[in-house]
Amino acid sequence: ALFLEWAHGTSLEDWISSAHNAETLASVLEDEGEQDGGSDGEQNASDKYEIKRSLRLAWDIARAVGQIHSVGVAHGNLSPHNIIVDEQKGEDAAFTLKLIDFSSATILQPPTSPGGAGKTKKAIRNDIYCLGIIFYQIFSGLHPLHISQDAPTSSFSTAVHGSSASSIPSLHQLNSHFPQVLSDLVSNLISTGSDKESKDTDQSYQTANEVDKDLYIMLVDPERFLYHSHPQHAKIKFSQNKLYGRSTHIASLMNAYNRVIVSGGTPEMVLVTGRSGSGKSALVQLMREPITRR
């Protein structure tokens, strides 16, 4: 009764089990290898909602991992058992997360320390690899390496590193209606951690923040970047000087500027609000250039 009473919510392990009931899993497995010519990507509103819900959760997890990396810590034992999820259900799913069990965590060494760069890269790649395994379970309900769900959590990282990423069927192979670009992202994460000799840094995710950014862009503009995107076998590349899915907000800010400054109207105050990491600062920063040019 006292177990983690301070952490509201449930383990991600239990969330996955609840989200993917036996009927859903049977449907996914039945679709595996389907060759009957159904149009890839055809989905009803319910399917899209469930993908968006899971995508939001995956994004929140990537952000959380990126945040601990930014303060110089790698978790070292990321697994569904070590993530606590508190879901606020509604039209737009929202989650509060807690990463627990830092018993295997490592302090990321400065690149200038002896062997520091190599150790830091290895620790980050391990977390990124485990993100891929976790995301695979979130979206499919299945463990990609068919590890027993009741296996000791201490064996999670060791077990996933013991198999080849190339032998794991992609999410799109499991379900032909699953968005190809998201399937490729998850496969890329698994490959990033498992292909220890890979040196193609341009094609692989090197940080959790890169994963965060790609998931976010799919989340804010799914019709463009999730369902109508070309297949990707590498990380998505976007312009660093452009915001996606924010045209309405930019227009609102520019209209306010024009009313007050250009047209000489009465003073106004505009509040930019949103969840942490939703891009408020980036939006305001983007407005500075067209305004200062005037």
Strand order across the 83-88 sheet:
10-11, 83-88, 94-99
Q: Among 87-91, 132-136, 190-194, 239-243, whose mean pLDDT is lowest?
A: 239-243
For the segment 50-70, the average pLDDT, to the nearest whole number, is 95
**Any idea which residue has 């620790």 for tokens?**
123
- pLDDT category at 279 given cuts 50, 70, 90 is confident
179: phi then psi, degrees, rounded to nearest 5:
-55, 125
Residue 265 has pLDDT above 50, yes or no: yes
Dihedral of the alpha carbons of 129, 86, 54, 25, in degrees to the nearest 10: 90
Q: Among 1-5, 205-209, 229-233, whose mean pLDDT is lowest?
A: 1-5
Dihedral of the alpha carbons of 138, 143, 144, 148, in degrees to the nearest 10: 170
**Per-residue confidence (pLDDT) for residue 293, from 0 to 100:** 62
Compute how many other C-beta atoms are within 10 angstroms of the C-beta atom of residue 125: 21
**Per-residue confidence (pLDDT) for residue 286, from 0 to 100:** 74
| Rounded percentage of the chain residues whose pLDDT exceeds 70 | 68
Q: Decide: 15 and 60 in contact? Cβ < 8 Å.
A: no
How many residues are there in the chain? 294
Residue 106 has pLDDT above 80, yes or no: yes
Domain spans, the chain:
10-225, 247-293
Q: Decide: 1 and 137 in contact? Cβ < 8 Å.
A: no
**Per-residue confidence (pLDDT) for residue 152, from 0 to 100:** 41
- In one letter, which amino acid is 189? L
- pLDDT category at 197 given cuts 50, 70, 90 is very low
Q: Which span out of 46-55, 63-72, 285-294 was modeled with the highest average pLDDT?
A: 63-72
CA 67 – CA 17 distance, rounded (Å): 27
**Structure token digits, residue 97:** 């997360």
Residue-wise pLDDT for 143-188, tens only, equals: 887 643 444 444 445 445 545 556 788 999 888 889 999 999 999 9
DSSP string for the chain: --TTTTS-SEEHHHHHHHHS-HHHHHHHHHHTT--S-PPTT---HHHHHHHHHHHHHHHHHHHHHHHHHHTTEE-S---GGGEEEEEE-SSS-EEEEEE---TT-EEPPPTTSTTHHHHHHHHHHHHHHHHHHHHHHHHHSS-TT---TTS-GGGHHHHHTTS-GGGSPPHHHH-TTS-HHHHHHHHHHHHHHH-TT---TTTS--SHHHHHHHHHHHHHSHHHHTSSPPP-SS-----TT--SS-HHHHHHHHHHHIIIIIS-----------STTSSHHHHHHHHHHHHHH-
- pLDDT category at 35 given cuts 50, 70, 90 is very low
**Which has more confidence, 132 or 229?**
132
Q: Among 50-54, 74-78, 118-122, 194-198, whose mean pLDDT is lowest?
A: 194-198
For the segment 219-231, the average pLDDT, to the nearest whole number, is 79
CATH class of 10-225: mainly alpha
**Per-residue confidence (pLDDT) for residue 38, from 0 to 100:** 45
Nearest to 80 by CA among 160, 146, 165, 149: 149
CA 212 – CA 220 distance, rounded (Å): 12
Q: Among 70-79, 95-104, 246-255, whose mean pLDDT is lowest?
A: 246-255
**Per-residue confidence (pLDDT) for residue 33, from 0 to 100:** 47
- pLDDT category at 23 given cuts 50, 70, 90 is very low
For the segment 86-107, the average pLDDT, to the nearest whole number, is 88
**Structure token digits, residue 74:** 């790698």
**Per-residue confidence (pLDDT) for residue 287, from 0 to 100:** 74
**What are 85's strand-pairing partners?**
10, 97
Residue-wise pLDDT for 229-263, tens only, equals: 655 555 665 545 556 566 677 778 878 888 887 77
